[in-house]
Homo-oligomer: A and B are copies of this chain.
Amino acid sequence: METETRTEIIEATNRALCEHGYAGLTMKRIAAESSMTTAAIHYHFDTKEELLNAFLDDLIERFEQKLDCDASDPRERLNSFLDAVFSPPEPDTEGFPVAIMELKAQSPYHTLFRERFLDLDEVMREVVTDIVKDGIEAGHFEETDPAEVARLVTTVSNGAHARTVALGEQAEETRQVLEHTLELHLGWTPGSEVIA
């Protein structure tokens, strides 16, 4: 499949999913969001599950790009990570966190979704583990268990996502609580300016 075709189908899936939700997602509605016919989409993706698997794969890739930070200072990298994770969704993608929540709820019934969410979790935890390790080595952070801090950050971000959807709460509220807790772990306040 050409990259352009794949991108077009995945973007159409994203729009259809945000608008109609998982239960209302059909090949017809995905086609309506693209310049392609349902037959053409079916040619590339046999099932809705395969299509959503590609959508989640693409999501993880974009998330990794968003986390790809030029800074070398682990404190700046941590700030960038928190920006990426806790930035509010763009106004046109309000349905997006809801759609992801629906896919998570489908995860026990779809091995492919489960695998993608495990991949995403691993990416997040690895990035934070590396940042904390590097920060300790550079003497910016106090001695602590990097893998445990990574698990805390990832779980809190999972919680923030659930709160956004279920309670309509801004992720910013959770970010503040997390930053204060990270201060206790790291001896450095995330969100504060980094002076080299």
Contact = CB atoms under 8 A, between A and B. Distances in A.
Interface of A: 21, 23, 98, 101-102, 104-105, 107-108, 114, 117-118, 121, 145, 148, 151-152, 154-163, 165-168, 173-174, 177-178, 180-181, 184-185
Grouping DSSP codes into helix (H, G, I), strand (E, B) and loop, the A interface class, with mixed when no group exceeds half, is: helix
Contacts of A102: 102, 105
Contacts of A155: 156, 159-160, 163, 174, 177
Nearest to A99: B105
Contact of A165 (B21, B108, B167): B108
A180 B148 CA distance: 9
Nearest to A118: B167
A153 B82 CA distance: 19
Nearest to A102: B105
A174 B154 CA distance: 10
Nearest to A103: B166
Most chain B CB within a 10 A radius of its CB, from A101, A121, A178, A180: A101
B165 A177 contact: no
Given A166-B117, A184-B185, A101 B104 contact: yes
A181 B107 CA distance: 29
